[in-house]
Amino acid sequence: MSSPVSLIREPLITGNKTYHQITEDLISPTEKTPPLSWMLGFIVAVTFLAVFVFTVGWTIYHGIGTWNLNRTIGWGWDITNFVWWVGIGHAGTLISAILLIFRQKWRTGVNRAAEAMTIFAVICAGQFPIIHMGRVWLAIFIFPYPNTRGPLWPNFNSPLLWDVFAISTYFTVSLLFWYTGLVPDFATVRDRAKGMRKKVYNFLSFGWTGSAKHWQRWEALSLVLAGLSTPLVLSVHTIVSFDFATSVIPGWHTTIFPPYFVAGAIFSGFAMVLTLMLTTRKLLKLEDYITIEHIESMNKVILLTGTIVGVAYLTELFIAWYSGYVYEQFAFFNRALGPYWWAYFGMMFCNVVSPQLFWKKSWRRNIWLTFFLSIVINIGMWFERFVIIATTLARDYLPSSWSYYSPTWVEIGIFLGSLGLFFTCYLIFSRVAPVVAVAEIKSILKTSGNQYKGAAHHHDGHQEEVHHDHH
């Protein structure tokens, strides 16, 4: 009706698609036998998953003593991995919620896969706090439930308990948001399927019919869920940062942590979305739906958040010096030039220097460079958490208890194994559900499809937006 067709913005769907072709392109991967590339990827992922099961089993059977944590360094790779995975799990909700509120149409190409990625990343994250407790069978003690021990309650003043609530709420809400978006698409799969497959998708689609009233409520629900998820996603990493910031350890006890952690989370999450989407788009031939324009938009977010993270690193250094507090000054001196200098410089290079390449437009639009940098950034963000956690603990107030930490094969196995858990989930998802939101893509076709925007518009930005109103 009165939806504006912008001639400045590039089309988000190319290839002169019709509604039926969109269905065909996006649903058919769930209907075909997986290609060899998928099979190989799945075998590798499941192998790593087996490593995860084995090393976690080893840890539970023999205890945390199989890790190299010591009296000084009580948090090592376990919590580093936890924070890293939770951070990655922030992009999905950011894309689906915040970009929905800002009416960014490019979100429709990537939101489904990004939300799935969020859910799988949070599942991976959740493993680490549980196994690092040691006696995992007592993990239920973290929840406040009436019990026969008093009842004895958890400490509601502790940021570690806030984390329990934040992560479990985040997981639940992300899952509901994602699944509600999937229901109409499962109905599309159902209506094309036969036999047993039809029964399965009939169950998954909850009896969706596409009635006008249902769509109206569905849109209202999506918008309110987005509105609630926006502060939620910001709160989750804020609370994760409280795990550190509310302690009195120099290098952790800083007010900059919440915004700095949130920016870092979005940064690493977008990097992981790019790693996955560039692979998925190639393998499932989705180049018409996840265009260079999408990649460039995500690279802009990476450039922005990477720069925020860089400013935060420098602010920390400045404040440490300016505070005049020797322990704080030492903590940062030790991070940059102490025994873990290599982690600090890895972090600085990967997170602050490397994204600056994206100031150049042609580099933002370069697929190979984007893919390479997305991996570099994920490595960098892992280093960041390692720097914050292990290097800070290694040199505390008492030089007599200074220590050094390097992981055992068990800890390395759990980390690599968690990648297996993540990719196994993602690969299964990419075969059973449409990785791009079918209904949402159809709803933006007439405003963002290339054929509706006229012949190739490569303007220099002076064109006015044209409104096709039919009043």
Among 16, 31, 40, 153, binds other proteins (CB under 8 A): 153
Among residue numbers 406 through 445, which ones bind other proteins (CB under 8 A)?
A: 438-440, 442-443
Gap between the Cα atoms of 268 and 114, Å rounded: 12
Q: Does 213 bind other proteins (CB under 8 A)?
A: yes
25 versus 296: smaller Cβ distance to other proteins: 25
Show Cβ contacts of residue 274 under 8 Å, excluding neighbours closer than 6 positions. Answer: 295, 298, 299, 302, 370, 371, 374
Helix axes 159-192, 212-245, angle to 10 degrees: 150
> Out of 39, 50, 220, 432, which residue is the one contacting other proteins (CB under 8 A)?
220
Q: What are phi and psi of 457, to 5 degrees?
A: -105, 100
Nearest distance, CB of residue 157 and other proteins, angstroms:
4
Selected range binding other proteins among 173-181, 289-297, 331-339, 387-395, rule: CB under 8 A: 173-181
β partners of residue 4: 467
Per CB under 8 A, the list member of 177, 244, 340, 415 interacting with other proteins is 177
Query: Could you tell me which stretch among 40-48, 151-159, 292-300, 332-340 binds other proteins (CB under 8 A)?
Result: 151-159
- Region class of 279: left (phi > 0), else alpha (psi between -120 and 50), else beta: alpha
d(CA 142, CA 307): 37
Binding letters toward other proteins, positions 233-272, x by CB under 8 A? --x---x--x------------------------------
* Residue among 206 and 318 whose Cβ is closer to other proteins: 206
241: closest CA among 209, 263, 222, 220?
263
User: Which of helix, strand or coil describes residue 252?
Assistant: coil
Q: Which of 4, 16, 19, 145 binds other proteins (CB under 8 A)?
A: 19
Nearer to other proteins, 215 or 330 (CB): 215
Is the peptide bond prior to 231 cis by the omega test (within 30 degrees of 0)?
no
With CB under 8 A as the contact rule, the residue among 84, 208, 260, 429 that binds other proteins is 208
Question: Under a CB-based contact definition with an 8 Å cutoff, are residues 349 and 391 in contact?
Answer: no
**Which of 349, 344, 253 is CA-nearest to residue 306?**
349
Q: Round to whole Å and give the CA distance between 144 and 153.
A: 6
The whole-angstrom separation of Cα 294 and Cα 409 is 39
- Which residues, in sequence order, are bridge partners of residue 467? 4
Q: Minimum distance from CB of 239 to other proteins (Å)?
A: 6
If one asks whether residue 287 binds other proteins (CB under 8 A), the answer comes out as no
Among 43, 50, 176, 432, binds other proteins (CB under 8 A): 176
Among 207, 324, 399, 461, binds other proteins (CB under 8 A): 207
List of residues contacting other proteins (CB under 8 A): 1-3, 18-20, 23, 144, 150-153, 155-159, 161-162, 165-166, 168-169, 172-173, 176-177, 180, 183-184, 187-188, 190-192, 202-203, 206-221, 224-225, 228-229, 231-232, 235, 239, 242, 438-440, 442-443
